[in-house]
Amino acid sequence: MTDKDRKGEGKAAAGDDFEPVIVGFFCNWCTASAADLAGTSRMQYPPNVRPIRVMCTGSVDTSFVLRALLEGADGVLVGGCHPGDCHYVTGNYRARRRLTGVIKILEALALDPERFRFEWISASEGAKFAKVVTDFTEDIKRMGPSPLKEL
Amino acid sequence: MATERIIKVGRGETPSTAALAHLKQLLTSGHLDGLMIPMAMGGGRTFMHVLVTDPDALADADPFAPVMPVNGATSVSRLTKLEAPSGRIGVVLRPCEIAAAIELHKLLQVRLGDVVVIGVDCPGTISVKDHIDLVDAGKDPLSAVAEEPGLLREACMTCDWTRVQYHDMLLGTFGSDGKHVIVVSEDETLLGGLDKAPKGALEARESTIEKIEDIREKTTEAVEKEVDEHLQGPEGVAKHWETCIVCHNCMEQCPVCYCNECFFESQTFRYEGDKMMLWARNRGSLDMPTDKAMFHLGRMAHMVATCIGCGMCTQACPVGINVGRAFKYVASRVQPVYDYKAGRSVDDPLPQATYLEDELEPR
Ligand code: SF4
Ligand code: SF4
Ligand code: FES
């Protein structure tokens, strides 16, 4: 991405032409594969997500989510293995605890908690992936550009 | 079974000197090999914990000093983390210091079992700066607070720890009118020579605790209302930290921020000049030093589940930002999600170290 593209994204106003930037932290063993599956199955979903492959949601530190939001993302989506399916056994349960903390912080200080979403999406759930991304992108579009990046 | 005893405050004595005489006796008799206790510095301008082994070095000590420059749990961690000291070390701590020590114990930074925790009733403390200013102006800090309770730190006026929640020995002053100090312990060797506490004394302490709890709860509500009105949304948050110089002192003085290598001081936040130019162009300008909001919100995300509300962050801030107000407010909204109250008990598992299969969202 060039400087110019980034500038356009950062400054876009709410409205039809607002294309949100969504950072996705996707578990290698499930959601990242679901994204591939959605692609190879030619399912339609908006291209707003910038995916980052992680080895487990358990490796997503709370500060990663906040940093994405403070540095330009309009939304953050974390996708991991369903309960009982984590390849490191308890990474997703621990992530749920930790990341719930982020939501509560955002709620407590009225910092747009809806800009963060956490979903279980298994490798076979290409359709769920497409739906989650579509819904989330639409929600964020409605909310407009994030004021958190001005912080 | 805990036994309750009493130290009478004699003519010419204060609760401090009377309690100190008992502690000195424990050191002299060898029931304690060391005592970590607040000690007057600079002729009483401030008090700092000192590890004392010589009973004669206790002259300027005060277990009830109304000032807390450093949360004592930090020193207990220094004392016990690498290797437990041999012998029995008594550490005089206020409830918020005990709360921090409890969290640090669970974080494997303190070994509570290796020290004798001497908990004290705490009516609150004055900020170090106010304490020094009062003494320099020739005033007695204790009488100054009696006249003007608003001098107490906000953390103290909204303190959740009126009841000492953990101790090996308690020095209780609440409800005593300065006439005695109640001593409670399960360990007979710490009670040697003291008279049995009369029943009324314990009841008076109990009812005073309830009264103070009530006042502190009301003050907490008032402070929370302020936060509801002013510390909300991106503008509210930006305004709260407007004058921050990003010195990280609030983190340095936080007793539960124990990481040797703080993420927010790592190379992650050192950038090439062009990267900063890019951000400056995107926004039109870039605040320097960078990452102010990242530091405060990120630190919050890392430790607010273990924040015990001692307010050392506020006291440490060179530009007068009420950091603790924000952290305490958020902590009281985050911790209940895990059914957790940081500092309450060594038996409650750390929220980040455990989980339930059937809890929270998504399921
Ligand atoms: S926060 Fe509570 S325990 Fe700590 S110094 Fe203040 S009143 Fe005492
Ligand atoms: S101590 Fe005060 S100035 Fe320093 S980083 Fe913390 S809030 Fe900012
Ligand atoms: S391996 Fe997918 S969430 Fe842990």
Domain match, B194 and B245 both = no
User: Tell me, what's the ipTM?
Assistant: 0.94
Domain boundary among B187, B222, B257: B222
pLDDT at A74: 98
Q: Which of B193, B222, B251 is the last residue of a domain?
A: B222
Q: Which domain holds residue B188?
A: 3-222
Is B362 within a domain?
Answer: no
Whole-number Å distance between alpha carbons of B14 and B178: 7
pTM given for the model: 0.94
Ligand 3 pocket: which of A25, A30, A60, A94 to mutate (most atoms within 8 A of CB): A30
- CB–CB contact A83 B355 (8 Å): no
B165 and B311 co-located in one domain: no
If asked whether residues B238 and B217 sit together in one domain, one would say no
Structure-block tokens of residue B99: 């709360």
Q: How many structural domains comprise chain B?
A: 2
Residues B217 and B199 in one domain: yes
Q: How far is CA A49 from CA A106, A129, A138, B147, in A?
A: 21, 11, 12, 60
Q: What is the mean pLDDT of residues B65-91?
A: 96
Distance between CA atoms of residues B175 and B202, nearest Å: 8
Q: For a substitution probing ligand 2, which of B241, B291, B294, B314 has the most ligand atoms within 8 Å of its CB?
A: B241
- With bands split at pLDDT 50, 70 and 90, how would you rate the model's confidence at B161? very high
- DSSP per-residue letters across B84-135: PPSS-EEEEE-HHHHHHHHHHHHTTS--GGGSEEEEE-----B-HHHHHHHH
State whether B52 and B140 are in the same domain: yes
The band of B133, judged by pLDDT with boundaries at 50, 70 and 90, is very high
Q: Name the residue in chain B with its Cα closest to that of A2.
A: B278
The full set of domain ranges for chain A reads 33-143
Q: What is the mean pLDDT of residues B16-37?
A: 98
Atom of ligand 2 nearest to the CA of B246: 5
Identify the nearest ligand to the CA of A92 by its number.
3
B178 and B274 inside one domain: no
| Residue identifier of the C-alpha nearest atom 2 of ligand 2 | B317
pLDDT of residue B329: 98
Q: pLDDT tens digit string along A8-20?
A: 444 445 556 899 9
The answer on pLDDT for A128 being more than 90 is yes
Q: Find out whether B196 and B5 touch, Cβ atoms under 8 Å.
A: yes
- Cβ A67–B298 below 8 Å, yes or no? yes
Residue numbers in A near B333 (CB within 8 A) = 104, 107-108
pLDDT digits 0-9 by tens, A112-125: 999 999 999 999 99
Please indicate, yes or no, whether residues B26 and B51 belong to a single structural domain of this protein: yes
- Picking from B204, B222, B240, the residue at the C-terminal end of a domain is B222
- Size of the A and B interface in Cβ pairs below 8 Å: 108
